[in-house]
Structure 1
Amino acid sequence: MKRTRTLRGATLVALAAITLTACSGGSGTAAGDGGDAATTYTWWDPYPQHDEGSDWAKRVDACGQEAGVTIERTAYDTTALTNQALLSAQEGTSPDVILIDNPAVSTLADTGMLTTTDDLGLDTSTIDENLLAAGVVDGKTYGVPVGANTLALYYNKAILDAAGVDPTSITDWATLDAALAMVKASGKQAITFAATGTEEGSFQFLPWFWGAGADLRHLDSPEAVQALTLWKSWLDQGYAQQSVISNSQNTTWEEFLTGSFAFAENGTWQVNSAAEAGFETGYIQLPARDGGGAPAPTGGEFITAPVQDDTDRYTTTTKIIDCMTTPEGLVQTANTFAYYIPPTSAGQQQLLSEHPELQTWVQAVNDAKGRTSDDLGTDYPIISEQLWTAVQSALSGAKSPQQALTEAQAAAEAATR
């Protein structure tokens, strides 16, 4: 097996953190029985919470049957899956199919262990380009997204009504600021978000960063400074509490569920929880600085095929992947995991015919962006660490937004040369 280069240790450690940001969790393993190698295809995914009797496992088995083979499925914790995939490539024991968190695709591709969609003859023409981009490295596409989740702004309707805020009036940063001021004047907590010093902090900051027009290759641009200044102003004006500096996304959500906050930045994966809250909720897209929806980062997995010595196996592998990514198959995945938005227009329209209340999320995914897009590849974890470090420094008051981001840019450039 060819390998283009070995990953730097720091990149692999940072990648492990990224995989915990916006995807389903769990621990443990679930494997099928072995069988004849010619008729048994191996499949790894990050869904140990879905055991052999689950709808998900039955879907995987059904696609194997349609392709004329038996699928032996093994499920790992998300982070363990990435590490196990890299180890299998070194040992020459890679499975036929790996469903992997999208930021990890470029890392696996960088080792030379993944086939391209051209190698498999997969048609990606119907997949939304902004979602497919997370799997593009040096102009080649590795894998197909099975769905996407992203961020939006949840709101507590009772608090907004009492403050006289119409959520549909929030279309840019200025109108959001005005709404936060009205909520604070009414005596309620305005907004909560996660600015913790991990990948989750970068994940939550990126919509504001990209929504200002900033670029991850230029962390100290005027647009980037404007985005960080916005977050800092929310703390200075009392719209957000200082505790956001240590908030994880789970902590943020727990705060919102107390009913004390007007707004919370969180993800598609909380849709069911919001519906079950003890108060009426809604959600709007995160606004870009000058209007419209901000590009929020995407979570979600890609279905990939590692390189095999026996290339004749690719024909059946392609059949399995095709089965999993039909419009109906993508909607089944969305319904199975409750928060996935299909990566194709046909799949999205079919999902909306069943769940019209998800229109905001479909639009958010249409406007979203992969964290490793712009061909950042394995540089992304390094840049992201400098970004969340700058956010922490600025929000704590240790440095100005400009100083924090200037230092972050210098550190990122030195580490990615």
Structure 2
Amino acid sequence: MKAPAGPPKRPFAALAAAVALVLVTAGCGTGAPADSGNGRVTSLTALDYYTDTAEHAHWGELLTSCGRKAGVSVEHRSVPAPSLVPTALRQAQAGTLPDLLMLDNPDLQQFARSGVLTPLREHGVRGDGFGAGILSAGTYQGEAYGLAPTANTLALFYDKAALAEAGVPVPRTWEELRKAAAATTRPGRYGLAVDADASFEATFQFLPFLWSNGGDERHLDTPQAAEALRLWTGLVRDGAMSRSVLGWNQADVHEQFLGGKAAMMVNGPWRIPALEAAKDLDWGVVPLPVPRAGDTLVTPLGGEVWTVPRTGSEARRKKAAEVLACLNEPASMLALARWHHTVPSRRDVAARYAEQVPAMAAFVRSTEGARARTRELGPDWPRTAAAIHTAVQAAVSGQQTPEEALRRAQRAATGS
């Protein structure tokens, strides 16, 4: 999820759970009509949710460049993130899907299941050299339908002066995190800030703790899941984390850290530009702490995949696939990563990028073992994601114990 991501920077599309049903009724005869005359394709359409002025301009520049390489012009349109899926649904029903469609990676499963996306292998587009988790984010039932030029995930940002003053090391384990959060808490400042609100962003932030402790989204009512949730509830109970996290999104968490009201925060690389501009804050960033020394960190993948809808024109799909392949070339990945503080999806490109941009090294390391949120549950993920953030709210607020909240979440996720 890019601010998820993800989004992650952006929340999941609110209508994601309804995509499969609506698109199935729309059928597969979607897309722009074939070009007339000799069938030569001279222009394509592209839809995404990059409405930020700079971000839209960057993507427009790259789409234009890749279109020129493929011999076409690209009409680039962006809609607000919450409008992307509804817009695509209407286009699917009307048979006017764009030639290139960007999707938040958890939404791809819904669209691929409906049959309105083209398998990329049909046009020779491959994901050679991509990280396994990143590649799986664009895959449905073993078939790749989308590729993400870059990805993002979460890490731990910390105030160097606050930790130094408290005499605690940068935390690498949960116990060290507890100690550092307690030691850096003082009047007007909490030790740690996370997003625990009633949204998919909170689920995104909780997943590294769940997964790194051996928890499983298919079985939420386990001791491993309860232990992960107790970490958060304990920090609030002990006063090292504000109870206000129940209403904070990732942007709010960032503002707490930026304003000196939190010594550490869980957040994504999209926060780096604002942090670099902060003159009075000396900060660092490391991978999230793991339960015990030697444990493997598992984080969720944020970011967007580009797809080729199954339009009515084979020629248009072929040209769209050429543009999509260009978006995923190393040079494109590096340009996007530098513009937006994301992680290139090819492992070798990401390694070079980490050397060039040290602030991104923690995110590059974390994406190496990162996991697509839909890997286990596919199109059924949104219901479980909602059950998880509901459990977080119930436990952190003290309304239920972690065990009770997760038992209820398991029933909600499975419909039992």
| TM-score, L = length of structure 2 | 0.87
In structure 1, C-alpha distance between the alignment counterparts of 2:10 and 2:144, rounded to whole Å: 24
In structure 1, C-alpha distance between the alignment counterparts of 2:404 and 2:219, rounded to whole Å: 14
Aligned letter for 1:372?
T
Once the two structures are superposed, the pairs formed by residues 9-408 of structure 1 within 5 Å of their partners are 21-23=7-9, 38-50=41-53, 54-167=57-170, 170-184=171-185, 188-277=189-278, 278-291=280-293, 292=295, 294-337=297-340, 339-374=341-376, 376-408=377-409
Report the number of matched residues: 387
Whether the 8 Å contact between 2:6 and 2:152 is mirrored in structure 1 is no
Task: Identify if the C-alpha distance between structure 1 residues 161 and 350 changes in structure 2 by more than 3 Å, giving closer, same or farther.
Answer: same
In structure 2, C-alpha distance between the alignment counterparts of 1:357 and 1:403, rounded to whole Å: 39
Query: What is the Cα deviation at residue 21 of structure 1?
Result: 3.2
Whether the 8 Å contact between 2:388 and 2:406 is mirrored in structure 1 is yes
Task: Identify if the C-alpha distance between structure 1 residues 53 and 387 changes in structure 2 by more than 3 Å, giving closer, same or farther.
Answer: closer
1:203-235 deviations in whole A, cap 9, x for unaligned?
111111111111111111111011111111111
**3-state SS in 1 of match to 2:344:** coil
1:65-96 deviations in whole A, cap 9, x for unaligned?
11011111111112212221122122211111
Task: Identify if the C-alpha distance between structure 1 residues 237 and 351 changes in structure 2 by more than 3 Å, giving closer, same or farther.
Answer: same
**3-state SS in 2 of match to 1:318:** helix
In structure 2, C-alpha distance between the alignment counterparts of 1:160 and 1:321, rounded to whole Å: 45
In structure 1, C-alpha distance between the alignment counterparts of 2:410 and 2:55, rounded to whole Å: 47
Aligned letter for 2:144?
T
In structure 2, C-alpha distance between the alignment counterparts of 1:62 and 1:139, rounded to whole Å: 31
Aligned letter for 1:357?
A
Task: Identify if the C-alpha distance between structure 1 residues 399 and 351 changes in structure 2 by more than 3 Å, giving closer, same or farther.
Answer: same
Identical residues among aligned pairs (%): 32
Aligned letter for 2:286?
I
Q: Which runs of 5+ in 1 are unaligned?
A: 1-14, 26-34
Whether the 8 Å contact between 2:116 and 2:310 is mirrored in structure 1 is yes
Whether the 8 Å contact between 2:213 and 2:224 is mirrored in structure 1 is yes
Task: Identify if the C-alpha distance between structure 1 residues 371 and 52 changes in structure 2 by more than 3 Å, giving closer, same or farther.
Answer: closer
Whether the 8 Å contact between 2:120 and 2:321 is mirrored in structure 1 is no
Query: What is the Cα deviation at residue 24 of structure 1?
Result: 5.9
Query: What is the Cα deviation at residue 318 of structure 1?
Result: 2.1
In structure 2, C-alpha distance between the alignment counterparts of 1:182 and 1:329, rounded to whole Å: 44
**3-state SS in 2 of match to 1:387:** helix
Task: Identify if the C-alpha distance between structure 1 residues 55 and 188 changes in structure 2 by more than 3 Å, giving closer, same or farther.
Answer: closer
Give the ranges of 4+ consecutive aligned residues of structure 1 lying more than 3 Å apart after TM superposition.
Answer: 17-21, 50-53, 184-188
Query: What is the Cα deviation at residue 53 of structure 1?
Result: 9.0
The alignment's C-alpha RMSD in Å is 2.4
In structure 1, C-alpha distance between the alignment counterparts of 2:152 and 2:4, rounded to whole Å: 14
Query: What is the Cα deviation at residue 356 of structure 1?
Result: 2.9
Task: Identify if the C-alpha distance between structure 1 residues 67 and 187 changes in structure 2 by more than 3 Å, giving closer, same or farther.
Answer: closer
Aligned letter for 2:315?
D
Aligned letter for 1:115?
T
Aligned letter for 1:252?
V
Whether the 8 Å contact between 1:341 and 1:361 is mirrored in structure 2 is yes
Aligned letter for 1:280?
D
Query: What is the Cα deviation at residue 20 of structure 1?
Result: 7.0
1:216-258 deviations in whole A, cap 9, x for unaligned?
1111111101111111111111111111111111111111111
Query: What is the Cα deviation at residue 353 of structure 1?
Result: 4.2
Whether the 8 Å contact between 1:334 and 1:341 is mirrored in structure 2 is yes
